[in-house]
Amino acid sequence: MPNLDDHCKRTRMRYNTDGRDIHLWLDQPSQHYAGAHREFRHDTETVRIVGELFGSKYGKAVAENIALDHIMADHEEDIRKRHEGDKVNSEDKFETLWEKQDRFYQEEIKKGRELALQGNDFTPFEKEQLRRRWNMK
């Protein structure tokens, strides 16, 4: 997770100010909630609030952008960490969490279709029609 100095450095490069007071305010809940502090003051409503609280010092748009950059930097770190935990499939292709979930659901659908065709709920004609629709042999 980016620390205060990382956030300030990034802000200084983009806005020619470090915005330290904004970053401190955004991360103040971390004193009580540690890593779970992002449940507080890390949403779109917070961006608007920062514009109101710090707009007189930085200008509303700059203050909001500093807050948005802070939130995005934190979430980029979370996303990167999640991807590090993702596994590689048999073709050595990097799979995102979404791709893994999609593959899982497709496999479950296929199993359900195979079970449906094995049962007695459909006539042989209906089973043949379903096999064609589902591209099953």
The reported pLDDT for the residue numbered 94 is: 58
pTM of the model: 0.58
Q: What angle do CA 52, 56, 61 make, to 5 degrees?
A: 65
For 131, the enclosing helix (H) or strand (E) is helix 124-133
10-residue mean pLDDT profile of the chain (137 residues): values are 89 94 91 73 90 96 93 78 58 62 76 79 83 80
The reported pLDDT for the residue numbered 88 is: 47
CB under 8 A, 24+ apart: contacts of 113-118: none
